[in-house]
A and B are shown apart, each in its own frame.
Chain A
């Protein structure tokens, strides 16, 4: 065992006290001064374009993280309609949908985001577009869980960016990505840089990691059989029902189950099949119970969902399918809600 230092290790030499006092003063002043200046700069530069505590009211997308940059998108007046979801929704092109419907769509889907987290973003969009918003909710089996915490949170959403007291916002805005985004926003304001991501949230995936053996895995995968009882609760759909009931009646809402590879669809006649049917029924009831609310089910077995080439993996369709989904959404929007209202 090596010796442990004596307690006199940091004793001061005689006469050195004033110099060490000045050192401490300099250290504390520099620490507080630097931290304070940096904090003030971050708050005033408003890195995520929330419009809080800043004279800057324009929207800049100054960070790559979609979960963070959506805090600006939700208040962007350039858009009046939002596509909500997770990675399953990120192939839907809001620009094409805008052309097809006459509305101005923004993609607010975030990879790996769970339903209750998606609703945090949806509520913020609804609040900033009071009475004029439209929503497309891209649903997946996560919505059919029988308890809110059924799935592990793979992505943390900074919910305080979307809804928080002033104190909470000010106490949490000092973090690495905020510094990064504040710096980038400064460069954007100076005209030296463009936005970190497209303002409407859509960009073609060309970096999606797909294991080389994915087609083989899809070919041999077993369809799900087990699930909760069909009459078990659907707490996440209840949250969705509560959300749609809370927004103004004229707000258009479309819920859609997008196509998934047949291998991920429940085995017909199994418990999973009965559960999914009950889930879809619950979503239909939400649509039936409110005006300006529609339901669309494309999560079915057919020629397209049997074709492996149409999917990156069992849950994520490729762009050809995305174009068809856009057409289906646009068609339902036009038939159910009519052409875009003048706003």
Chain B
């Protein structure tokens, strides 16, 4: 179910709030009710995916139980390997087959499967819990609580990637306790602002950007319109930051605070700062569960500590790229981010600070420029976009410039949504309620277009 659909906003969400209100006085019914709602939400897209999600929950919970009973680390290792194998089986078979074919010359024909929604996200949730369990940091949880951690509908499809210790204790608590009104108001603000980012900024950008990348697949872009392709960095930002805000807002309405996922990344003045404010929960996952184990593995001894850390950055970011998509251009995108992070780390250590403005321009410019690797469907198409940038952008229409300028302004100048919500919830003001309602109506009208674009991160 899309958050930006009438089915969700006018039917599912009111029903979910009503169900939660009804079960709120009954503590034992709270978690089962949320699980039922979450599974219904998940199954709305394709009920067959439940055949993966439910066994995935049960088997991982059982593995955790087995580990706690036996204290054998191999149990967790096997469980994590199995999770990654399932992810690979759904997400990477075509990629693996294509590369094997390239290496061996053997044609494996068409290989591929339908990607179950949210698989990349719930796989990472399993991994976070299992790793922390083995590290002795995570306790045992009953099946229903663990199931809700994995399938909680505000975050099951595209995150934020939540650590078990951030939400487990929030699940099953009474929602409508004294003071719930301000929390719900904040939740409503996040939902409306998130949807507004999606439908008024992300989607219009997508409608001017998509034809450019389609054209790049077919041939050269000789009219200077390739420059529009660079705006993808802003499209994916509003798309995913918008999605994250809706998820955070929905959870808040239902009494759970999720971690924030973006913090004005386009104001960052270094690439390190950028990656600390872009898809923050993924960056945190990669830091804690990929980078740290690699960087502090001890391989090569103390004398190669710096080299090891730099290589760990590169590997982590290459894997970050591969996680985003099963294609070499994603790996290249991630690797480029890794190279930039290394460059930034070396610069910070040996060279003087370039200053805020220059640092900001270099950081944002780099991310915008390399976003072509993220969006382009093939390396040829990506090359054609870059070739097209050699021609001045005279072919870009005034309307297209307006859409891009508005997006850049909002991304760079306006405060991040959590800051806006914080300010708006300092005290209850009628004008804010009316303004938010008007924006909500505008969002509903926009959603009525009936061509509602999926959130980009649904494909990951």
Contacts from A to B (Cβ < 8 Å):
1-2, 4-7, 9-12, 16-17, 19-24, 26-28, 30-31, 34-35, 38, 156, 158, 171-176, 178-179
Bound CA span A10–B183, Å: 5
Between-chain CB contacts (< 8 Å), 13 pairs: A2-B263, A4-B281, A5-B260, A10-B182, A11-B182, A12-B178, A12-B180, A12-B181, A16-B428, A20-B179, A31-B437, A38-B445, A156-B451
B interface secondary structure, majority: helix
Query: What distance in Å separates the Cβ of B188 from its nearest Cβ neighbour in chain A?
Result: 6
Q: Which of B407-433 contact A (CB under 8 A)?
A: 418, 422, 425, 427-430, 432-433
The yes or no answer to B52 lying at the interface (CB within 8 A) is: no
Instruction: Report the Cα distance A22→B427, complex, angstroms.
Output: 12
Determine which of A17, A19, A31, A175 lies in contact with B449 in the assembled complex, contact meaning CB atoms within 8 Å: A175
Known A-B contacts A5-B260, A20-B181, A31-B441; the reply to A26 vs B287 at CB < 8 A is: no
Pick from B179, B181, B422, B438: contact of A23, CB under 8 Å: B181
Are B276 and A35 in contact, CB atoms less than 8 angstroms apart? no
B76 to chain A, nearest CB (A): 25
State the CA gap A156–B452 with chains docked (Å): 13
Q: Are the C-beta atoms of B183 and A12 separated by less than 8 Å?
A: yes
Number of interchain pairs (Cβ within 8 Å): 117
Q: Are A1 and B276 CB-contacts (below 8 A) given A19-B428, A27-B433?
A: yes
B interface with A by C-beta (< 8 Å): 6, 166, 170, 178-186, 188, 252, 257, 259-260, 263, 276-277, 280-281, 283-284, 287, 418, 422, 425, 427-430, 432-434, 436-438, 440-441, 444-446, 448-451
A9-B257, A10-B252, A17-B178 known; A23-B183 Cβ under 8 A: no
A19 to B185, CA, bound (A): 11
Contact partner of A2 (CB less than 8 A), chosen from B170, B280, B437, B444, is B280
Cβ-defined partner of B181 (8 Å) among A24, A173, A176:
A24
Q: Which residue of A lies closest to B287 (CB)?
A: A1
The residue that B448 contacts in the complex, of A6, A30, A172, with Cβ under 8 A, is A172
B441 touches A34 (CB 8 A): yes
Are B428's CB and A20's CB within 8 A?
Answer: yes
Is A175 a contact of B445 with CB atoms below 8 Å? yes
Bound-complex Cα distance A7 to B260 (A): 11
Distance in angstroms from B337 CB to nearest chain A CB is 16
- Could you tell me the distance between the alpha carbons of A11 and B177 in the complex, rounded to whole angstroms? 11
**Contact in complex: A24, B263 (CB < 8 Å):** no
Inter-subunit contact B433/A5 (CB<8 Å): no
* Residues of chain A lying within 8 A (CB to CB) of residue B263: 2
A38 in complex: contacting residue of B418, B441, B446, CB < 8 Å: B441
Report the bound CA distance from A172 to B422 in whole Å.
35
Rounded to whole angstroms, the CA-CA distance of A21 and B176 in the bound complex is: 12
Chain B residue numbers with a CB within 8 Å of A1 are 276, 280, 283-284, 287
Give Cα A328–Cα B445 distance, bound, in whole angstroms.
46
User: In the complex, given contacts A4-B259, A7-B166, A24-B184, what are 4 additional A-B residue pairs having Cβ atoms less than 8 angstroms apart?
Assistant: A7-B170, A16-B182, A38-B441, A172-B450
In the complex, how many angstroms separate the beta carbon of B286 from the nearest chain A beta carbon? Answer: 10
Which A residues are CB-close (under 8 A) to B184? 24
CA distance A35 to B449 in the complex (A): 15
Taking the closest CB of chain B, its distance from the CB of A327, in whole angstroms, is 38
Q: Which residue of B lies closest to A8 (CB)?
A: B257
Known: A10-B252, A12-B183. A35 touches B444 (CB 8 A): yes
Q: How far is the CA of A176 from the CA of B276 in the complex (A)?
A: 37
Question: Is the Cβ of A176 less than 8 Å from the Cβ of B448?
Answer: yes
> By the criterion CB–CB under 8 Å, are A176 and B445 in contact?
yes
Bound together, the chains give a CA A24 to CA B170 distance in angstroms of: 23
CB pair B444–A10 under 8 Å, yes or no, is no
* 6 pairs of A and B residues whose beta carbons are closest in the complex: A12-B179, A30-B437, A20-B181, A175-B448, A23-B428, A4-B259
Instruction: List chain A residues, Cβ under 8 A from B6.
Output: 171
Please tell me if the beta carbons of A10 and B425 are within 8 angstroms of each other in the complex: yes
Pick the contact of B433 from A30, A38, A171, A172 — CB < 8 Å? Answer: A30
Closest Cβ neighbor of B259 among chain A residues: A4
Return the chain B residue nearest A25 by Cβ: B433
Contact A5 B418 (CB under 8 A): yes
Q: Which of A4, A7, A158, A174 contacts B444 (CB 8 A)?
A: A174
Please measure, in the bound complex, the distance between the C-alpha atom of A242 and the C-alpha atom of B445, giving whole angstroms. Answer: 37
| Min CB gap B375→A, angstroms | 19
Kindly state the separation between the CA atoms of A210 and B144 in the bound complex, as whole angstroms.
63
Complex: how many Å from CA A22 to CA B185?
11
